[in-house]
């Protein structure tokens, strides 16, 4: 079962829109990530400021980047699945 | 050694290796085709693939290196966790599905899919090999570090054992056995990291971390009118020698026939000579640990909280803590870290570590390793360069990219990436607890930061130590298997089959892949032995820089710039490899490795990404514009 031929490649009508969405989300996350680096470089003293639940900015921002990646990943998948279902099924119906 | 061999750990390790070998035997009988060998037939379930992604990616650098770096340098080690995980965003949003659509077995297939260019085949295969070998080195170094306390064997033996087992795994069933080894390892790693974190939180913070914790000697001294140090009459020590280097003064004291170095500290309470950890190598090559052979166990495990502050009160123990209060209590408290210094004395080379009380506020923000407050422009650029390489490196690692070919569809590739992000993200949050837990538990071996997490586990009991050690071995096995599959594909599929156009039947191609796996495995064993002692996280950071410089510009531009040409892609890959490797060889850390001063380095940054990544992008754009007309008319 594990060793059949490599899966055949089908045309994906949603590919372009998924790619654009992925690029947008990449830039959003990239900006937030860059914000972390910029604070570290230009205002490192802010990293020690306590922001919430007793956690300092360094910990809050660091955990936030990890959790945000997971959340954005789920949302991206939901959006892509919807696009695939809509566009590829519509195409099949035609 | 400063810790005992655990028979239980040896037993669990043998059982795990036996299980892995059985798995490989089982799948070997089914692996007959090149599709089966290089891509597991493209039929792995996305959930299994997602956990296997985690098993592939969470290498010795993640488990041993990051935890060790946090244990030694606080938050700066956690920067690696943040950067490594952020890199998966690039993989998911930009690379995952196109890579699946464009490729067959290897990363080179994807880059070359619309050019059919021999130069891309050659350069991408070289890039795969260079990045994989750069990544392989720290895994092997980590393997060697592990066998010393677990099996009681020398470093080289660990490298040979891991290398041999992995060669067997890959040479029998290729990607299929590799996938299941990585799945097993990824799952075990996360489960046991959760268990270890629960132990850490239950214990909380204590000024006396364990019963064996060594109390370092501190002798109050005075000076005579000439500034010479005078010991108290009842100190039982005899002052032998003294030396000053920079702002530090060290004195060799003798007691009961054992001589060791002390560090002179001045405080409001007076002058003190404080006992240090030392490794002295004399002119004949004899090595003494705190003045005695290592077997005498005077080279103590260290790292503890000197003042525990709980709700504004100084206490001896905080009691059990929750995930938030553990972090805030450390920030409120004071931790004793050990600072490394090296000097020569009468033909002997001395490496010493002296205690320094560090406020928790400094532990919990960047700055102890990557100095940022009051830092020079080069120090700041070094930080930016590291964060850039980590962000862009993941999506350019060939051994990660080939995992997209093991699932049936682009949708499965995406779903498995999300499983991977969730698993890896959760694990990286735990690295902070494991690293800080090791920092305050009196378990650190200053000779090997990589052993911090397993030694922390040992402080909670032999059972958990045995499991964590076996998981750490599995960690190395899983990642090294992936790297060897990627390298084997680059040699047998990209170079021999596609570039040199050697006509091979499918069966022969599988055999070529197995022979390549054997060769790369042997090379990994040799470099793993030669580079003993380097922090594996640091080495992996460099592998990311090479990957991000050589591969990512090509991937991104092929996907998003219509004017990209085959020659532009291959030129970019070569410039990325050469510039990043060259800059690493000229960096301060490598100069230190050559025995030269850091300041003498010809390139001022430790991480080359900030120069080599833009350089590779620019090369691709310029060469593509120059060769576009020629390729259009060809």
Q: pLDDT-based confidence at B201, cuts 50/70/90?
A: very high
B106 and B131 in contact (C-beta within 8 Å)?
A: no
Interface test with B, best of A41, A68, A78, A83 (most B CBs within 10 A): A41
Q: If we measure between CA atoms, which residue out of A4, A30, A8, A26 comes closest to residue B43?
A: A4
Q: Cβ contacts (< 8 Å) between B39 and chain A: which residues? A: 6
Query: Does an H or E element contain B223, and which?
Result: strand B218-223
User: What's the length of chain A?
Assistant: 94
Q: What percent of chain B clears pLDDT 90, i.e. is strictly above it?
A: 19
Determine the pLDDT at residue A31: 95
Asked whether the predicted pLDDT for residue A88 surpasses 80, the reply is no
Determine the pLDDT at residue A93: 56
Lowest mean pLDDT among B23-32, B211-220, B332-341, B461-470: B23-32
Determine the pLDDT at residue B70: 93
Which of B41, B384, B414 has its CB closest to that of A2? B41
Determine the pLDDT at residue B572: 95
User: B406: distance to nearest CA of chain A, Å?
Assistant: 8
Enter the tokens of residue B580. Answer: 């990043």
| Cβ distance of A2 and B405 shorter than 8 Å | no
Determine the pLDDT at residue A2: 38
User: A80: distance to nearest CA of chain B, Å?
Assistant: 9
Q: pLDDT-based confidence at B28, cuts 50/70/90?
A: confident
| Cβ distance of A66 and B414 shorter than 8 Å | no
What average pLDDT does this structure show over B553-559?
89
User: B344: distance to nearest CA of chain A, Å?
Assistant: 36
> B441-490, pLDDT tens digit by residue?
988 888 878 788 888 988 888 888 888 888 877 777 777 887 888 888 88
> B87-109, pLDDT tens digit by residue?
889 888 888 888 877 777 777 88
How many beta-carbon contacts under 8 Å exist across A and B?
165
User: Three-state SS for B338?
Assistant: strand
User: B338: distance to nearest CA of chain A, Å?
Assistant: 22
Asked whether the predicted pLDDT for residue A75 surpasses 90, the reply is yes
A26 and B89 in contact (C-beta within 8 Å)?
A: yes
Backbone phi, psi, residue B630, to 5°: -60, -40
Mean pLDDT of all residues in chain B? 85
- Max avg pLDDT among B18-32, B177-191, B494-508: B177-191
| Cβ distance of A62 and B417 shorter than 8 Å | no
Among all residues of chain B, which has the CA nearest to that of A1?
B43
Query: Does an H or E element contain B631, and which?
Result: helix B609-633
> B54-64, pLDDT tens digit by residue?
888 887 767 78
| Cβ distance of B372 and A40 shorter than 8 Å | yes
Q: pLDDT-based confidence at B197, cuts 50/70/90?
A: very high
Lowest mean pLDDT among A10-14, B542-546, B579-583: A10-14
| Cβ distance of B75 and A58 shorter than 8 Å | yes
B389 and A41 in contact (C-beta within 8 Å)?
A: no
Task: For B356-396, give the DSSP string.
Answer: EEEEHHHHTSS-SSS--TT--HHHHHHHHHHHHHHHHHGGG
Task: Go through the domains of chain B in sequence order and give each one's CATH number.
Answer: 9-203+395-532 (1.20.1730.10), 218-363 (no CATH)
Enter the tokens of residue B216. Answer: 């370092």
Q: Cβ contacts (< 8 Å) between A70 and chain B: which residues? A: 421-422, 425
| Cβ distance of B372 and A44 shorter than 8 Å | yes
Among all residues of chain A, which has the CA nearest to that of B93?
A22
| Cβ distance of A37 and B405 shorter than 8 Å | no
Q: Cβ contacts (< 8 Å) between B376 and chain A: which residues? A: none
Question: Cα B550–B551–B556 angle (5° rounding)?
Answer: 125
Q: Cβ contacts (< 8 Å) between B89 and chain A: which residues? A: 25-26, 29-30, 33, 69, 72-73
Asked whether the predicted pLDDT for residue A18 surpasses 60, the reply is yes
Q: Cβ contacts (< 8 Å) between A88 and chain B: which residues? A: none
| Cβ distance of B421 and A73 shorter than 8 Å | yes
Which of A66, A72, A74 has its CB closest to that of B428? A66
| Cβ distance of A73 and B384 shorter than 8 Å | no
Tell the residue number behind the tokens 């042997």, with chain if given: B522
Question: Cα B295–B437–B466 angle (5° rounding)?
Answer: 55
| Cβ distance of B365 and A4 shorter than 8 Å | no
Among all residues of chain A, which has the CA nearest to that of B40?
A3
Q: pLDDT-based confidence at A9, cuts 50/70/90?
A: low
User: A57: distance to nearest CA of chain B, Å?
Assistant: 8
Asked whether the predicted pLDDT for residue B534 surpasses 90, the reply is no
- The DSSP letter of residue B206 is B
Q: Spell out where A10-93 has E strands.
A: 50-52, 55-56
Task: For B259-320, give the DSSP string.
Answer: EEEEEEEEETTEEEEEE-EEEEE-TT--EEETTB-GGG--S--EEEEEEEEETTEEESB--S
Asked whether the predicted pLDDT for residue B600 surpasses 70, the reply is yes
Region class of A49: left (phi > 0), else alpha (psi between -120 and 50), else beta = beta
What is the gyration radius of the CA atoms in chain B, in angstroms? Answer: 26
Enter the tokens of residue B304. Answer: 């503890």
| Cβ distance of B41 and A84 shorter than 8 Å | no
What average pLDDT does this structure show over B430-444?
92
Interface test with B, best of A35, A38, A73, A84 (most B CBs within 10 A): A73
Determine the pLDDT at residue B3: 63
Among all residues of chain B, which has the CA nearest to that of A33?
B86
Among all residues of chain B, which has the CA nearest to that of A70?
B422
Asked whether the predicted pLDDT for residue B141 surpasses 60, the reply is yes
| Cβ distance of A66 and B373 shorter than 8 Å | no
Among all residues of chain B, which has the CA nearest to that of A76?
B93
Interface test with A, best of B85, B101, B365, B609 (most A CBs within 10 A): B365
Q: What percent of chain B clears pLDDT 70, i.e. is strictly above it?
A: 95
CA distance A43 to A60: 16
Q: pLDDT-based confidence at A63, cuts 50/70/90?
A: very high
| Cβ distance of A59 and B327 shorter than 8 Å | yes
| Cβ distance of A26 and B90 shorter than 8 Å | yes
Determine the pLDDT at residue A76: 92
Report ipTM (2 d.p.). Answer: 0.85
> B241-293, pLDDT tens digit by residue?
888 887 888 998 888 888 889 998 888 888 888 889 999 898 888 888 888 88
What average pLDDT does this structure show over B518-547?
79
Lowest mean pLDDT among A64-78, B93-107, B576-590: B93-107
Q: If we measure between CA atoms, which residue out of B296, B312, B336, B91 comes closest to residue B206?
A: B336
User: A13: distance to nearest CA of chain B, Å?
Assistant: 12
User: A15: distance to nearest CA of chain B, Å?
Assistant: 9
B37 and B31 in contact (C-beta within 8 Å)?
A: yes
Which of A41, A55, A77 has its CB closest to that of B418? A77
| Cβ distance of B39 and A6 shorter than 8 Å | yes
Determine the pLDDT at residue A1: 36
Q: Cβ contacts (< 8 Å) between A9 and chain B: which residues? A: 101
Determine the pLDDT at residue B632: 63
Determine the pLDDT at residue A5: 39
Asked whether the predicted pLDDT for residue B434 surpasses 80, the reply is yes
Asked whether the predicted pLDDT for residue A7 surpasses 70, the reply is no
| Cβ distance of B42 and A4 shorter than 8 Å | yes
Compare B148 and B307 and report the one with higher pLDDT: B307
> B408-430, pLDDT tens digit by residue?
888 888 899 899 999 999 999 99
- Max avg pLDDT among B303-307, B332-336, B374-378: B332-336
Please state whether beta strands A55-56 and B258-267 pair in parallel, antiparallel, or not at all (unpaired): unpaired
Which of B75, B104, B383 has its CB closest to that of A41? B383
Which of B410, B411, B421 has its CB closest to that of A69? B421
C-alpha of B333 from chain center: 28
């Amino acid at each position: 079962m594990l060793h059949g031929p490599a899966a055949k490649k089908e045309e994906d009508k949603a590919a372009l829109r998924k790619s654009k969405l992925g690029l947008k989300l990449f830039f959003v996350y990239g900006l937030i990530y860059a914000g972390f680096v910029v604070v570290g470089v230009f205002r490192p003293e802010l990293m020690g400021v306590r922001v919430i639940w007793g956690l300092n900015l360094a910990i809050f921002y660091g955990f936030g980047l990890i959790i945000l990646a997971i959340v954005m990943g789920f949302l991206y998948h939901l959006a892509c699945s919807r696009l695939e279902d809509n566009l590829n099924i519509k195409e099949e119906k035609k | 050694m400063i810790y005992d061999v655990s028979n239980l750990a040896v037993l669990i390790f043998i059982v795990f290796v036996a299980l892995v070998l059985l798995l490989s035997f089982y799948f070997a009988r089914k692996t007959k085709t090149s599709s089966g060998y290089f891509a597991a037939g493209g039929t792995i379930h996305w959930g299994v693939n997602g956990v296997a992604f985690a098993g592939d990616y969470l290498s010795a650098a993640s488990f041993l290196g990051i935890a060790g770096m946090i244990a030694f340098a606080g938050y700066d080690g956690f920067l690696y966790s943040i950067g490594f995980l952020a890199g998966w965003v690039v993989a998911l949003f930009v690379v995952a599905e196109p890579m699946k659509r464009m490729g067959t077995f290897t990363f080179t297939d994807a880059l070359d899919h619309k050019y059919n260019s021999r130069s891309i085949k050659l350069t991408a295969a070289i890039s795969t090999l260079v990045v994989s070998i750069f990544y392989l080195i720290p895994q092997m170094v980590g393997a060697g570090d592990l066998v010393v306390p677990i099996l009681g064997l020398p470093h080289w033996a660990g490298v040979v054992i891991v290398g041999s087992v992995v060669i067997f795994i890959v040479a029998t069933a290729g990607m299929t056995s590799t996938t299941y080894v990585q799945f097993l390892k990824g799952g075990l790693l996360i489960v046991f990291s959760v268990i270890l974190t629960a132990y850490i939180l239950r214990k909380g913070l204590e000024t006396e971390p364990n019963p064996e914790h060594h109390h370092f000697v501190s002798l109050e001294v005075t000076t005579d009118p000439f500034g010479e140090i005078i010991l108290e009459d009842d100190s039982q020590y005899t002052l032998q020698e003294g030396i000053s280097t920079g702002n530090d003064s060290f004195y060799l004291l003798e007691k009961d026939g054992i001589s060791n170095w002390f560090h002179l500290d001045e405080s409001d309470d007076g002058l003190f000579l404080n006992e240090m950890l030392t490794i002295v190598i004399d002119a004949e090559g004899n090595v003494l640990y705190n003045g005695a052979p290592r077997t005498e166990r005077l080279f103590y495990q260290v790292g503890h909280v000197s003042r525990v502050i709980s709700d504004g009160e100084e206490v001896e123990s905080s009691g059990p803590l929750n995930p938030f209060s553990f972090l805030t209590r450390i920030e409120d408290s004071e931790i004793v870290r050990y600072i490394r210094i090296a000097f020569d004395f009468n033909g002997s080379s001395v490496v010493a570590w002296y205690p320094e009380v560090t406020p928790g506020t400094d532990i919990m923000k960047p700055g102890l390793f990557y100095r940022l407050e009051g830092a020079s422009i080069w120090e700041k650029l070094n930080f930016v360069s590291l964060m850039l390489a980590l962000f862009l490196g993941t999506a350019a690692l060939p051994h990660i990219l080939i995992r997209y070919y093991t699932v049936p569809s682009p949708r499965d590739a995406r779903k498995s990436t999300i499983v991977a992000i969730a698993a890896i993200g959760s694990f990286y949050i735990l690295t902070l607890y494991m690293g800080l837990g090791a920092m305050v538990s009196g378990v650190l071996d200053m000779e090997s930061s990589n052993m911090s997490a397993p030694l922390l586990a040992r402080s909670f009991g032999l059972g958990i130590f045995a499991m964590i050690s076996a998981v750490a071995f599995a960690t190395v096995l899983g990642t090294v298997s992936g790297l060897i599959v990627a390298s084997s594909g680059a040699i047998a599929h990209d170079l021999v089959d596609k570039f040199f156009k050697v006509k091979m039947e499918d069966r022969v191609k599988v055999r070529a892949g197995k022979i390549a796996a054997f060769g790369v495995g042997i090379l990994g064993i040799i470099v793993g032995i030669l580079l003993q002692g380097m922090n594996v996280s640091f080495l992996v950071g460099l592998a990311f820089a090479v990957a991000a410089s050589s591969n990512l510009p090509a991937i991104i531009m092929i996907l998003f710039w219509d004017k990209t040409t085959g020659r532009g892609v291959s030129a970019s890959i070569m410039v990325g490899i050469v510039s990043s490797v060259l800059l690493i060889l000229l960096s301060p850390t490598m100069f230190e490795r050559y025995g030269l001063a850091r300041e003498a380095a010809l390139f001022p940054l430790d991480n080359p990404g900030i120069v080599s990544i833009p350089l590779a992008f620019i090369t691709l754009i310029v060469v593509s514009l120059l060769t576009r007309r020629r390729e259009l008319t060809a």
